Chains A and B, each alone.
Chain A
Amino acid sequence: MSYIPKDAVTQSFQSNKGVLTPNQIIELVNENKFTMYGQLELIQTQEITSAQTYIDFTNIKEDEYNVHFITWNNVHPQTDSKTLTLRLSDDGGTSYESANYEVAFININASASFNATGSSSNTFMYCSTSVGTGTGECANGYAYLYHLGDGGKESFNTFQNSDLQAAPTLQTFVGSQIYNQTSTINALRFGTSDGSSTWTGDFSVYGLRFA
């Protein structure tokens, strides 16, 4: 029994009162009512060491988070010069959408003129392009995803990456992408759009609490 019983006061994030037992703290943590900082909450990490064609996240807690943060790090294709893509699913990963994406990004690179890419009818979202298999070549990046769990909104993405691509050339993309159908997205897939390579690397999905 607490000095001040937990239930005698209203506990909430950034407003905890009384003396609490460890079990009461655990209970409040599970209810998101105990003040602990660290609001970028890891949902799942997949460290792929045996190359696979697709890296799927089928439990993304889209009903808990309005903003997701995803990262890809030290990602290597097993076939040279492949594009790492992101696709969304609204059926729990049974299938992934292959249409209705809009993309716009700038390619900043160390060897040629910067170039802009835009499309209102793409079949995927970009993570990285022309990822190579040579020494040091890999893809790294992050994206913020908005409104995945809101069935009344389209799904939005801002992203940036840094790659040593297949030439090899150091490149970065900075851009915005949309899946322009209003639906509840509940799974994500990384891979090539045509399944033409397997991949290794580290992939993570986070939720942003209170966004």
Chain B
Amino acid sequence: MASNLEFISSIKNTTTNVSTVSFDNIFSDKYDVYYLTVTSFETNTNAEELAFRLIDSSGSALTGSNYTSPSYTLQTGGSFSEVRDVNQDKWRYGGYQPASGSTGFGLSMYIYSPFDSSTYTFAELQSVQSANQYIGRTNIYSYGVAESTRGIIFTNNGNFNMDILKASVYGIA
């Protein structure tokens, strides 16, 4: 029983054609560091990227232009590509899924100090998917307002909806 990775909650959405999935009330003053894993992500009818917003202390999505996301796309062929999102309204490029026939998805994300109202929220992400040559993302994220957040909303880069999303979150004690 030496492990201090403590399960908090999991979520599984199977409602088709949704633009957001809310994973609320997962952050608290009990932990400073969280581990989030996404093991299923399938889009509705079009290829799309997974994106994230934070939920404020009253349960509302934070939609201001305060999200920064340097992202590196890992490819099996060709040059890797860089994206430097600054002051956007969400954390983007969490992982890509093709239009149909998903053969799996994996994402690991460490989130730092989301509940602490005195600091920004930071995160690191690595994801992997089977979608032609674009098989992975490695990103760092920041939310540039010092405020307390209590959850995450899964969304898209801005275009197409999702059908399936399954995620679990753990606190690191």
Cα(A118)–Cα(B79), bound, Å = 9
Report whether over half of chain A's contact residues are helix, strand or loop; otherwise say mixed. Answer: strand
Which residues of B, 103-153, contact A by the 8 Å Cβ criterion? 103-108, 126-130, 133, 135-138
For the complex, what is the distance from the CA of A104 to the CA of B76, rounded to whole Å? 5
* In the complex, residue of chain A having the shortest beta-carbon distance to the beta carbon of B107: A158
Determine the chain A residues whose CB is within 8 A of the CB of B3 once the complex forms: 37-42
CB within 8 Å of A: which of B49-78? 72, 74-78
Beyond A39-B7, A146-B39, A178-B128, 9 additional pairs, beta carbon < 8 A: A37-B4, A37-B5, A106-B74, A106-B80, A106-B138, A119-B76, A158-B108, A160-B126, A180-B103
With beta carbons under 8 angstroms apart, the residue of B10, B107, B130, B133 that contacts A154 is B130
Contact with B along A8-42 (1 / 0, CB 8 A): 00000100000000000000000000001111111
Bound together, the chains give a CA A39 to CA B173 distance in angstroms of: 12
Task: Specify which chain B residues have a CB less than 8 angstroms from the CB of A157 in the assembled complex.
Answer: 106, 128
CB closest residue in chain B, given A66 = B39
Given contacts A37-B173, A104-B75, are A153 and B104 in contact (CB under 8 A)?
yes
Contact of A158 among B10, B39, B126 (CB under 8 A): B126
Contact A39 to B128, CB < 8 A, known contacts A156-B104, A175-B136: no
B7 and A209 contacting across the interface, CB-CB below 8 Å: yes
The 8 A-B pairs with the shortest beta carbon distances in the complex, nearest first, are A176-B136, A146-B106, A104-B74, A38-B3, A153-B104, A176-B128, A120-B76, A158-B126
Shortest beta-carbon distance from B128 to chain A in Å: 4
A14: min CB distance to chain B, Å = 8
Contact across chains for A38 and B6 when beta carbons are under 8 A apart: yes
Complex formed: what's the CA distance from A157 to B107 in Å?
9
> When the two chains form their complex, are residues B80 and A116 in contact, meaning their CB atoms are under 8 A apart?
yes
A158 contacts B128, C-beta separation under 8 Å: yes
Count of B interface residues, CB-CB < 8 Å: 37
Given contacts A104-B74, A146-B104, contact A178 B4 (CB under 8 A): no
Contact B104 A154 (CB under 8 A): yes
A interface residues, tally (CB under 8 Å): 41
Partner of A174, one of B105, B133, B138, B170: B138
Residues of B within 8 A of A (CB): 1-7, 10, 37, 39, 72, 74-80, 103-108, 126-130, 133, 135-138, 168, 170, 173
In the complex, residue of chain A having the shortest beta-carbon distance to the beta carbon of B5: A40
CA distance A177 to B133 in the complex (A): 11
Task: Give the residue name and chain of the A residue nearest to B37 (CB).
Answer: A211
Which of B103, B136, B170 is in CB contact (< 8 Å) with A104?
Answer: B136
A67 and B37 contact, CB distance less than 8 A: yes
A62 at the interface (CB under 8 A from B): no
The residue on A at minimum CB distance from B134 is: A104
Give, as a whole number of angstroms, the nearest-CB distance from A157 to chain B: 6
Residues from chain A with Cβ under 8 Å of B10 in the complex: 210-211
**Nearest residue, chain B, Cβ from A144:** B108
Instruction: Find out whether the CB atom of B7 lies under 8 angstroms from the CB atom of A37.
Output: yes
Give the CA-CA distance A106 to B72 in the complex, in Å: 9
A38-B3, A209-B7 as given contacts; A118 in contact with B128, CB under 8 Å: no
